[in-house]
């Protein structure tokens, strides 16, 4: 099932999401819906709060970006109850976008390396280090689980300059090829 995407300004995107346990009802279906929604909306990653579920899961498939970043070709994963235990390396600037903030891209500084532990869709535990573009996507999606969106990572000045655009987006003044839920609209 393809879910609508919750848009910037909706309070669920600011919540710290909850961990789940192994027998969370409908977990497999939810993971496959996250992938399906992500592919439909043409994102590289999608976190459960973005479909209105305040739980700690996100999915990533870097394949669409593999032409520019060959390392992403087989980077397809589900992360359940993830914990970033270490961020290291240089702070690297990179342009980021977010399905919850349609048509806005900004340069965001993030660490080049992360160490993260998580359960996968088969409830296997992993403790891994990622770098570069992978570390970038992971940190962006992980932020969603803590109620953090990329504008929160910008300088106060940059954020102030974007305020008008962000307000417009939260009011639905954007074009997107996927269905959305605006702030004030109910999540079904
Ligand atoms: Zn995002």
Q: Is 141 a catalytic residue?
A: yes
List pLDDT tens digits, range 43-100.
999 999 999 999 999 999 999 999 989 999 999 999 999 999 999 999 999 999 999 9
List pLDDT tens digits, range 127-140.
999 999 999 999 99
Question: How far is the centre of ligand 1, averaged over its atoms, from the C-alpha of 33 (Å)?
Answer: 17
Question: How far is the centre of ligand 1, averaged over its atoms, from the C-alpha of 49 (Å)?
Answer: 10
Taking residue 14's Cβ as centre, other Cβ atoms within 10 Å add up to 14
Question: How far is the centre of ligand 1, averaged over its atoms, from the C-alpha of 45 (Å)?
Answer: 7
Its pTM stands at 0.97
């Amino acid at each position: 099932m393809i879910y609508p995407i919750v848009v910037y300004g909706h309070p669920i995107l600011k919540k710290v999401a909850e961990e789940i346990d192994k027998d969370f009802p409908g977990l497999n279906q939810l993971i496959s819906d996250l992938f399906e929604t992500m592919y439909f909306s043409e994102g590289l990653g999608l976190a459960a709060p973005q479909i209105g579920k305040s739980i700690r899961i996100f999915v990533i498939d870097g394949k669409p970006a593999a032409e520019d970043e060959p390392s992403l070709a087989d980077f397809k994963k589900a992360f359940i109850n993830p914990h970033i235990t270490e961020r290291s390396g240089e702070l690297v600037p990179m342009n980021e976008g977010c399905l919850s903030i349609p048509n806005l891209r900004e340069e965001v500084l993030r660490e080049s390396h992360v160490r993260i532990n998580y359960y996968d869709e088969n409830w296997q535990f992993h403790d891994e280090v990622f770098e570069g573009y992978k570390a970038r996507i992971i940190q962006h999606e992980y932020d969603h689980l803590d109620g953090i969106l990329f504008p929160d990572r910008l300088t106060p000045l940059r954020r102030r300059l974007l305020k008008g655009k962000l307000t417009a987006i939260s009011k639905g003044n954007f074009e997107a090829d996927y269905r959305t839920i605006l702030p004030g609209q109910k999540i079904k």
